Chains A and B, each alone.
Chain A
Amino acid sequence: MSVPGDLQYTRTHEWVRREGDTATVGITDHAQDELGDVVFVELPEEGATFGAGDAFGTIESVKAVSDLYAPVGGEVVEVNSALDDVPEKVNEDPYGDGWIVRLRVSGEGDLLSAAEYEKVLEEEE
């Protein structure tokens, strides 16, 4: 499973890319593989505000429903509405076109480095 070194992670298998006060959020390669074929992503409204650790949406595969948790606190400034039509982008490109939301960061969360996240995955094995 790919775990890019330049991203930060959560124990609930989201990733974060920080650029200034903006954070792009998605789910990890491991998470998309565990879910299987993603068929629906329930995105939040732009302008909604979430605290770090809050559920901000859901993601569904054919078989299962999972909550999405905000890795950091902030306001939703953009959602990946392309996922409405092609949710499988989450499977195909979880760290790229399969991103889910962008937040304007207003609160820090308990984030893991790539190395720490890899350890979490090993422990789950």
Chain B
Amino acid sequence: MASEALRRTPLYEEHKALGARLVDFAGWEMPVQYEGIKAEHEAVRTRVGLFDVSHMGEVVFRGPQAREAVQRLVTRDVSRLTVGQAGYAAVCYESGGTVDDVLVYRTQDDFLVVVNASNREKDVEHFKENTGDLDVEVVDESDQWALLALQGPEAAALLQTFTETDLSSIKYYRYEVGEVEGAYAVISRTGYTGEDGFELFVRSDDAPNLWRRLIEAGAAPVGLGARDTLRLEAGMCLYGNELDAETTPLEAGIGFAVHLDKESEFIGQRALRREQEEGLRKRLVGFKVEGRGIARHDYPVTVDGETVGSVTSGTLSPTLNEAIGLALVAPGVEDRFEVAIRSRTVPARAVPLPFYKRERK
């Protein structure tokens, strides 16, 4: 893709000024790293880091049947969400395969669904196609919003100096609407790193000033490279790796976001119920490589020379300094298997997820 065609977030000039290395990510010109992936990863684990995730999409469901529409589209029972609460969910096809994984925010009158940048157009089309009979407006507001993620053990203390909103009153997966550095902001205690932290939805025009102020106050800018190693250590799925149209949320280990018992039917519910009864066709496992080498996306998983699955994500964990990964494997696969790392076969051992869990105070 020619660089002219790439989309840019409202923070593009900030990234350039910080000397970021910019790459094409899902059609967006995004920072993959500033100082270096390991240093940025460590900043988030031990202090506080700031991410530009404005490429993610914000889709609003508005109207008398907004709840019915979202209920039909996502696997979580959103009637259980209270105003001010957010919930992780999958969006499925009738087959049970995954369209996207999303965060659903319940507001007073509407629902906000935050989608992956790579799936935005596909999602909006899917949302509209499947809710045409309902009295609901599906509005893609992505271009009006910037999204900043402030993550790490010092995130709350740092952010508190910029807002009157009492952050200690916002629990995990809750949000409040307030002001940050004088700008309207949805302050959400969510993230994709395994650390405490916040995601801040602000107007695009307000984003550069807020970004600069948070950096000046000591937040380390963090790129998509460390975002990936952080989420992988935390055992979180990435659409396109662990989740896709051929993989159900049950297989990808996010059954906690699937409410098969919810009263109103959702797209994919029948297929997922059937899979639940008949048994999973594959399942996601976390593993550590026991030999030398690093497992990467798409490397085959084998047992006795026979391919039984494939690696969905793999890296050297900066926190553990061990090669870790996630793989989708056939149901019968036990805790010992091998990963074909190019020309070699290296032993690996399944381990419980997540690889990294922060200590809670």
A residues with CB within 8 A of B: 36-37, 39-40, 42, 58, 60-63, 65, 84
Rounded to whole Å, the gap between the CB of B357 and the closest CB of chain A is 21
Min distance, Cβ B339 to any Cβ of chain A, angstroms: 14
* 16 A-B pairs in the complex with CB atoms less than 8 angstroms apart: A36-B33, A36-B36, A36-B37, A36-B225, A37-B36, A40-B292, A40-B293, A40-B294, A40-B316, A42-B292, A60-B294, A61-B37, A62-B315, A63-B228, A65-B296, A84-B292
Given A39-B316, A40-B316, A65-B296: A58 and B37 within 8 A (CB)?
Answer: no
Q: When chains A and B are docked, how far (Å) is the Cα of A65 from the Cα of B225?
A: 14
Nearest 6 CB-CB pairings of A with B: A39-B316, A62-B37, A37-B38, A63-B225, A37-B36, A37-B37
B229 within 8 A of A: yes
Shortest distance in angstroms between B221's beta carbon and chain A's nearest beta carbon?
Answer: 15
Chain A residues whose C-beta falls within 8 Å of the C-beta of B228 in the assembled complex: 63
A62 contacts which of B292, B293, B316, B342 (Cβ < 8 Å)? B316
The A interface, classified by DSSP as helix, strand, loop or mixed, is strand
Known contacts A40-B292, A63-B37, then 16 further A-B pairs from the complex at CB < 8 Å, ordered by chain A residue? A36-B33, A36-B36, A36-B37, A37-B37, A37-B38, A39-B316, A40-B293, A40-B316, A58-B342, A60-B316, A62-B38, A62-B225, A62-B229, A62-B315, A62-B316, A62-B318
Residues in A whose Cβ lies below 8 Å from that of B32: 63
**How many angstroms from the CA of A36 to the CA of B292 in the assembled complex?**
20
How far, in Å, is A58 (CB) from chain B's closest CB? 7
- Across-interface contacts of B36 in A (CB, < 8 A): 36-37
How many angstroms from the CA of A61 to the CA of B225 in the assembled complex? 11
Contact with A along B15-59 (1 / 0, CB 8 A): 000000100000000001100111000000000000000000000
Which residues on the B side are within 8 Å of A61 (C-beta)? 37
Residues of chain B within 8 A of A63, CB atoms compared: 32, 37, 225, 228, 315
Chain B residue at minimum C-beta to C-beta distance from A62: B37
- Whole-angstrom distance from the CB of A11 to the nearest CB of chain B? 21
Closest Cβ of chain A: how far from B224's Cβ, in Å? 9
Could you say which residues of chain A place their CB within 8 Å of the CB of B293? Answer: 40, 42
Closest B residue to A87 using CB positions? B316
Complex alpha-carbon distance, A42 and B294, angstroms:
10
Bound-complex Cα distance A40 to B229 (A): 16
Please determine whether B294 and A39 come into contact, CB atoms closer than 8 angstroms.
Answer: yes
